A and B are shown apart, each in its own frame.
Chain A
Amino acid sequence: MQKRNWMTRELVLIIIVVAFMLFLSVSTNFSSRSGIYSFMLDVSPTIVAAIALAMVIFTGNIDISAGTISGFVAYTAGSLAKSGMPLWIFLPAGMLIGMLLAGLNGFITVKFKVPSIVVTLAMNMVHIGFYATFLPQSGWIENLGTNFTWFGRGRFFELIPYTFVGAIAVAILFMFIMKYTKFGMSLYAVGGNRRSAVYSGINPDRTVMKVFLVEGLLLGISAVMKATTRSEVMPSVFVGRELFFIAAALVGGVSIFGGVGKIVGALFGAMLVYLLSIAMIYLGFQDYYQFAIQGGIILIAVYITVIDVEKMKKTFRRKKRHVITTGEGE
């Protein structure tokens, strides 16, 4: 019952995404070769980061500092690439930095039992202050060579960017992880009902810590994907991007209360959020509408989830009452 219910939500989302694409390609030049290329190029970092955020939200936590963590990753990757390092050095280094910073968020959340949203909000501010104060030239690195940009700019068949293939690969990998591994199951368990997770032998603190580390790793990949499309790196560009990631996960049907959601949802949620943002530009609106629309999307998506949760609770309660009344033997 529950499973079929959620599947429809993802299906609806996919239909909306496809319809939106059709609408854009009829009314604008979205379906041109360059339009599709730039769609795939721009959406791939968001997909990876939305998956990262979705996993954190599965456990009932959230990370507002995801955008600024990406900025740190981009700076690290950029400065390593500036000194001539190849991708297989600066990508793992970036992932490591991501894990370190997200791990710090996780550590404070778990160790001091404070809501992750407040911790990461504060961290967001610490990171922004850190960029401007302690990084040389506020972290601005320019004139990066092809050893940096080949990954972001390369494409298969002159059309499909490497990063898009990477993003899809990450999505498929995490779909499997969420479905078939103990780790994936434990995320839902911790987010759904912490106490029963404890009774079934899961350590919630350790699980939350792990999920933050995984999130950091994915944010590392996402930030490198985003940064390598340009030959300069500026950490402050990433400030505020968490809005897209969170909106994508929530639109994708991930419940803000934890325990419910799918990676596929995050994947198509990222596409929808991105399509909405470029639709504004294609249809000739100003960039200023971005914030208002994303904020509105978050509210609407969460409201739909709340209604769903309430409905589920109600049917559950009715069933229970039914069992009780029949059990009593009227």
Chain B
Amino acid sequence: MSAEAKNKKPFQVSHQLALLGVLVGLILLFGIIEPAFFIPRVFFDIFAIAGEIGIMALAMTYVITTGGVDLAVGYNLQMSAIVFGITFVNTGNVVLSIIFALIVATLGGMFNGFIVAKTKIPPLVTTLGTMYLFRGISMIIAGTATYSGFPDGFKQFSTFKFFNAIPIQLVYFVVLFFIMDYFYRKGSLGRNLKGMGFNENAVRFSGVKVDRIKFWIYTLLGLLCGFAAMVYLGRLSAAKTSMGDFMNFQVITAVLLGGTSIMGGVGSVRGTFIATLIIGVLHKGFSLLNFSGNIYNFTIGLILIFSLILYTLTEERRKVKTRSRRDQLESQTAATGDSGSGTG
């Protein structure tokens, strides 16, 4: 028990510290190149962008920890936004539109969850299929139409700023972060999620309703996609079929950069939080420097590959460390004859 804790802690802390270092470094870098970056209104925009991605990335951390993934998030968001737009244009009722949009997004998540939990189709393939499915559905509904003219009250959801600087997205993001982080670290849910990532059958046979957990976390992710869509929509103020493109990459990149293993079993909501901020800084910094969205996507793609590689390398190093530590313990126990305490 103690050996495990000793081995695990340095790795996690160092990864998150490294992320924090990268975050601060990036902020300083952009600030030096473009001093306007430090104007509060500009600076806090980071959180507006990070908030939208982050809302989904927090739930995605749960999904990826179980060894699954959801490639459809961006298009679920798109579908939900389109449904909001078309309901609003036809009825003029904001509350009804929000409810419809959230229901559609949740159903999208449920559909993913149902397939992943009930059939044996791998999550990657399931959500690859539903990614195109959702995209197709929103294209069928909207075509090339753009829905806009939403009332100001609705826009307040995402344009409201505390003290004229701190965007409301930061509040959503931080509150959600504390809730998700709490359930991830304390209680049985987080433990079960990690267990499912390591060895699903073992968790199943210990009496946990694995399929039910899977179904509900995908559903939760769907619901949060709908929420993110509302927040995003208030800022952009027009729903069209190009929104949400590449969103799935950004969300997955945030989670993987945050130190969650794509294989499942290991992860951290805190890492996701910091990594999301890094992505927000990059987004804002690039747009300040007048780089096109393509350079941003290009960079995000590179970061995604980089974090995959980085994770494997650190994991390999950790394994070597654990192994040498285990050898050390074994030789110690062999010497002293104390076999019980070391391995726990």
B116-151 with Cβ < 8 A to chain A: 119-122, 124-126, 128-137, 139-140, 143
Closest A residue to B310 by beta carbon equals A112
Closest B residue to A313 by beta carbon equals B120
9 pairs from A and B in contact (CB 8 Å cutoff): A108-B308, A118-B256, A123-B301, A243-B132, A291-B135, A295-B136, A298-B128, A299-B129, A306-B120
Does A292 contact B139, Cβ atoms closer than 8 Å? yes
User: With the chains together, A303 CA to B130 CA distance in Å?
Assistant: 13
**Residues in B whose Cβ lies below 8 Å from that of A130:** 298
B322 within 8 A of A: no
Q: Are A129 and B126 also in contact (CB < 8 A) when A299-B133, A302-B121 are?
A: no
User: With the chains together, A291 CA to B300 CA distance in Å?
Assistant: 25
Among the listed A124, A131, A132, A288, which residue makes an inter-chain contact with B143, where contact means beta carbons less than 8 Å apart? A288
User: With the chains together, A124 CA to B302 CA distance in Å?
Assistant: 10
Does A129 contact B298, Cβ atoms closer than 8 Å? yes
B278 within 8 A of A: no
Looking at B121, B129, B292, B308, the one whose CB has the most chain A CB atoms below 10 A away is B129
For residue B146, give the distance in angstroms from its CB to the closest CB of chain A: 15
Does B133 contact A296, Cβ atoms closer than 8 Å? yes
Does A133 contact B132, Cβ atoms closer than 8 Å? no
Q: Are A295 and B131 also in contact (CB < 8 A) when A125-B300, A128-B294 are?
A: yes
Chain A contact residues, majority secondary structure: helix
User: With the chains together, A158 CA to B263 CA distance in Å?
Assistant: 53
Does A114 contact B297, Cβ atoms closer than 8 Å? no
Total interface residues on B, CB under 8 Å, equals 47
Does A298 contact B132, Cβ atoms closer than 8 Å? yes
User: With the chains together, A129 CA to B249 CA distance in Å?
Assistant: 13
Does B308 contact A122, Cβ atoms closer than 8 Å? yes
Q: Are A122 and B305 also in contact (CB < 8 A) when A130-B298, A133-B294, A292-B139 are?
A: yes
Does A289 contact B136, Cβ atoms closer than 8 Å? yes
For residue B205, give the distance in angstroms from its CB to the closest CB of chain A: 18
B266-304 with Cβ < 8 A to chain A: 292, 294-302, 304
B312 within 8 A of A: yes
A294 within 8 A of B: yes
User: With the chains together, A290 CA to B139 CA distance in Å?
Assistant: 9
B71 within 8 A of A: yes
A256 within 8 A of B: yes
Among the listed B125, B136, B263, which residue makes an inter-chain contact with A290, where contact means beta carbons less than 8 Å apart? B136
A119 within 8 A of B: yes
Does A128 contact B297, Cβ atoms closer than 8 Å? yes
**Residues in A whose Cβ lies below 8 Å from that of B122:** 256-257
B29 within 8 A of A: no
B3 within 8 A of A: no
**Residues in A whose Cβ lies below 8 Å from that of B17:** none
